[in-house]
Structure 1
Amino acid sequence: MKKILVLLIVLVSVPTFSQNFNKAKIDSLFQVLETKDKYMGSVVVSENGKIIYTNAIGKEDIESNKKATVSTKYRIGSISKMFTSTLVFKAIEEKKLSLNQTIESYFPTIENASKITISNLLNHRSGIYNFTSADEYASYSAVPKTSKEMVAIIAKGKSVFEPNSKGEYSNSNYVLLSYILEEVYKQSYAALVQTKIAKPLGLKNTYFGGKISTANNESYSYSYTDKWNKETETDTSIPMGAGGMVSTPTDLTHFIEALFAGKLIAAASLEQMKTMQDKYGMGIFQVPFYDKIGYGHTGGIDGFRSALSYFPESKLSVAITSNGMNYGNNDIVIAILSSYYNRKFEIPTFTTLDLKTEDLDAYLGVYASDTFPLAITVTKDNTKLMAQATGQGAFPLEATKKDSFEFRAAGITLEFNPIANQMTIFQGGTKNVLTKK
């Protein structure tokens, strides 16, 4: 349920014409991704409310060999926060909540509850510890939890900064907002999504998730290490409105178009959602692409990854959902936007080096730096180099050139200097040099 934003340098303006959208080239990109076993998922591009491109590759369920279609449903992770924020603003417009009210009457055990407002929860300025960052999260993520149990887990994390002093992403905020909504409406979060968003918009494939059912065209999720491996299934009672929703790219484009058309909340409420403070809006982020500014959110839960964005100037929406990736959604979205806005992009070739197991020995070890928050442990599994950051799962690396390895799913490149016992990690435009211990 962590955020991943599409970030590019702002450059000069270019004209927008949907007739220039290079469908054939995007088809070729997805063909390469499927042929090379790099990606499983679905995408929809919509302009002015009309779908101009759609595609789906991979499988809903590998065991039964059930192929994905444009109707396949995916867990959308933190895109759920856009739905939760919309519901909160509906409650505000109905005078059931206010942005400035504090939360101590709902959660007296939460540290600083008398200082934390609904607004602080919405734009991640509460200071409440992100419960998914705790080491023990993985031990219970698949086990159903009651609201009482989840509030106790969140309260245990305490505050990490003074409320409203800065912004820091925390899934805890939106779990608590889910419970507040249930309290003020005396309905379940699932029912609220249906009655206030899905049914009015005719979103038949959007709902709060439960146990995954392939009979209902819901997909399992997978991670890749030489083959696709089925991921553990988080129980949605844990993420609630922070990450428990299910949808399709088609429904997601309808949702965000309706949101920006004023069909769900008032224009003034949308402006508050869009207002950025320390890079956080209220359930929404800016999505820059050169001189264009879009709005949306990304999502990740288990092996699912998703991204949703809307560019008001062009009335363009892009929704992408994945249940298995060894190539990043960010790269695909950039390719789609580049095609739409008439910018060059290259289809990857995925050329790799064939290395022997002994070729990897020079890279093995633990790398760290005083300026980098995590240590990176590099190991090998036969002829495959593996990397693992502190407190996280191991991920496979592909050798792309001498001393250089990539994990494309997260946009990570590791470059080694065995003589100097150093490793440089590149991700999201950042560069950090780590030294072998």
Structure 2
Amino acid sequence: MKNKHIITLVSLVASTSIFSQSFNSEKLNQYFENLETNNKFMGSVALSKNGKLIYTKTIGFADVATKQKTNENTKYRIGSISKTFTTVLVLKAIDKNKLNLNDKLSKFYPNIINAEKITIQMLLNHRSGIFNFTDGNSYYEWNTQAKTEKDLLEIIAKNGSDFEPDTKTSYSNSNFVLLSFILQKVFKKDYSALLKEYITTPLNLKNTYFGGKINPKNNEAKSYLPKNNEWKEEAETDMSIPLGAGGIESTPSDLVAFSNALFGGKLVSEKDLDFMKTIKDGIGNGLFQFPFYDFKGYGHTGGIDGFTSSFTHFDQDDVSFALTSNASNYNNNNIAIAVLSAVYNKDFEIPNFKIYQVKPEELNQYIGTYSSPQIPLKITISVKDNVLMAQATGQNAFPLDASEKDVFRFDKVGVVLEFKPTEKKMTLKQGGGEFNFMKE
């Protein structure tokens, strides 16, 4: 629900590709075994072609303390992928004449600033201007505590507005919490019941439901963050807070089934699906667009506590992919690239996690602030406890591991920094892009 330090610069480059008729899972299995051996990722993936699962893989633990291994039925919190489910429910409400895209927020919650100007559609495509409450300075002081509808409405109202409605796009969890409350009002049912009635029961998604307190005995995964080469259990957001913005639990296999149903016309009409896929200022209605070579996919990503997730569907070759993770010290986008490369018969590398030993006194030669004419981003390099740290403009500092002489990496977001100390130069590599920096 709330992003942390991530440098996102480049998507995949365009190229032509032909679907691999004989899917070879051997290299992909080696890829995941490498991640598991190096303690980089715990989670699960699923891949389908023409509506049939062709690959699943699960690594890691649902509960580190008890060494409870995960399996294909282990449930993970999927965070903001919940918004795609909520969008489907809103469209169901519209079909039943319980809502209209032009309905004003003031019809339901007149105390929200600009409520008389904000429509249901503006909530769906993040053009309401309502401040994202999970960006509030005190959010992590209360996110583990149960909140009522009244509590959350007061928090959203108090935070106010960032801009005039429908003048620009800005992602806000507040929009989908409000939509959740509106759905409950017009249907006179809890969100969890609506999810079950209109999506999970018709699609037989047995491992998808609105979450509660995490229970490993129910094969639900706890989440973890990396700390000192170990996994530290993350605090749980109380599910009364995210609701339809981020409160659903699921598995990759269920997410793939949901994806196939959504894009196969089993959940919404073709007109409604086109509406969901309509992108404005980078955001659709419950969907984002994801490129892979010359293919165009649609889906959503999610993140809540230590959980991360994503799902994408490509109409070309009818491919759906889903990933769920309860612990990651690696760039999940690289994992998605590897899986999709395998299915589309493209080459991909098994990552090398070797560590190059650097003497503490050698780290000082990299210290400084670097800027680039290519992007409006400065990166400050410092040393803390004999570890090289990097901090990009407006983001948190993150530690760097040396992989070879003058080369450092941060696997979680796929960043590689190559230094030329004598020339005061640094090259940032990420997602296929290269950006040249000079020390100021």
Q: TM-score, normalised by structure 1?
A: 0.91
| Deviation per residue, 1:364-383 (Å, 9 max, x gap) | 577789985788574423x4
Contact preservation (8 Å) 1:2, 1:78: no
Secondary structure, aligned partner of 1:295: strand
1:331-385 superposed Cα distances (whole Å, 9 cap, x missing partner): 011111111111111111122211233333444577789985788574423x433
1:72 is matched with which residue? 74
Contact 1:352 1:400 in 2 (8 A): yes
1:193: how far off?
0.8
Change (3 A) 1:387 1:64: farther
Structure 2 residue aligned with 1:15: 18
Partner of 2:272: 269
Aligned match of 1:318 in 289, 309, 321?
321
Cα shift at 1:289: 0.7
SS of equivalent residue, structure 1 residue 200: coil
Matched, 1:204 2:203: no
Specify the alignment match of 1:81 in structure 2: 83
Who is 2:410 aligned against?
407
2:61 paired residue among 43, 56, 59: 59
Distance (whole Å) between structure 2 residues aligned to residue 116 and residue 387 of structure 1: 40
Structure 1 residues 92, 351: CA separation in 2 closer, same or farther (over 3 Å shift)? same
Shift of 1:251: 0.6
Q: Check the 8 A contact 2:2/2:134 in 1, yes or no.
A: no
* Alpha carbons 2:370, 2:437 under 8 Å: kept: no
Q: Shift in Å at residue 63 of structure 1? A: 0.3
Structure 1 position 279 matched with structure 2 position 245: no
> 2 CA distance for matches of 1:333 and 1:161?
34
How big is each residue's C-alpha offset from its partner over 1:373-421, in whole Å with a ceiling of 9 and x where there is no partner? 788574423x433445688665432112334322221223345566687
* Structure 2 unmatched ranges of 5 or more: none
Structure 1 residues 64, 103: closer, same or farther in 2, change over 3 A?
same
| 1:306 paired residue number | 309
Give the Cα separation in 2 of the matches to 1:416 and 1:93: 58
Local SS of the residue matching 2:121? helix
Report the CA distance between 1:184 and its aligned residue. 0.8
The alpha-carbon deviation at position 109 of structure 1 amounts to 2.2
Equivalent in 347, 352, 355 of residue 350 of structure 2: 347
Please give the alpha-carbon distance, in whole angstroms, between the structure 2 residues aligned to 1:30 and 1:172. Answer: 36
5+ residue gaps, structure 1, are none
Q: Which residue of 2 aligns with 1:33?
A: 35
If the length of structure 2 is used for normalisation, what is the TM-score? 0.91
Query: Which residue identity is paired with 1:255?
Result: F
Residue 293 (str. 1) matches residue 296 (str. 2) = yes
Confirm or deny that 1:183 pairs with 2:223: no
Residues 111-162 of structure 1, C-alpha deviations (whole Å, 9 max, x = no match): 2111111111111111111122222212112121112211222222222222
Task: Provide the C-alpha distance between the structure 2 equivalents of 1:22 and 1:354, rounded to a whole number of angstroms.
Answer: 36
Percent identity between matched residues is 52
> 1:365–1:379: 8 Å Cα contact kept in structure 2?
no
**Do the aligned partners of 2:146 and 2:239 also contact (CA within 8 Å) in 1?**
yes
Structure 1 residues 43-54: aligned runs within 5 Å: 43-54=45-56
Query: For 1:248-263, what aligned pairs fall within 5 Å after superposition?
Result: 248-263=251-266
* Residues 214-223 or 148-157, more deviating: 148-157
> How many corresponding residue pairs?
433
Partner in structure 2 of residue 329 of structure 1? 332
Q: Which residue of 1 aligns with 2:246?
A: 243
- Measure the CA separation in 2 of the matches of 1:133 and 1:368: 27
Residue 95 of structure 2 corresponds to which residue in structure 1?
93
Equivalent position amino acid for 2:209 in 1? Y
Counterpart amino acid of 1:329? N
Q: 1:412 to 1:109 in 2, by over 3 A?
A: farther
Query: The residue matched to 1:159 in structure 2 has which SS?
Result: coil
Q: How many Å separate the matches in 2 of 1:424 and 1:222?
A: 31
Aligned to 2:402, the other structure's residue is in SS state strand
User: Following the alignment from structure 1 to structure 2, what is the Cα–Cα distance between the partners of residues 369 and 343?
Assistant: 32
Aligned AA for 2:174?
S
Q: Residue by residue, what CA displacement relative to the aligned partner does 1:194-213 show, whole Å, maximum 9, x if unpaired?
A: 11111111111101111110
Give the Cα separation in 2 of the matches to 1:72 and 1:33.
Answer: 19
Write the distance in 2 (CA, Å) between the matches of 1:434 and 1:166. 34
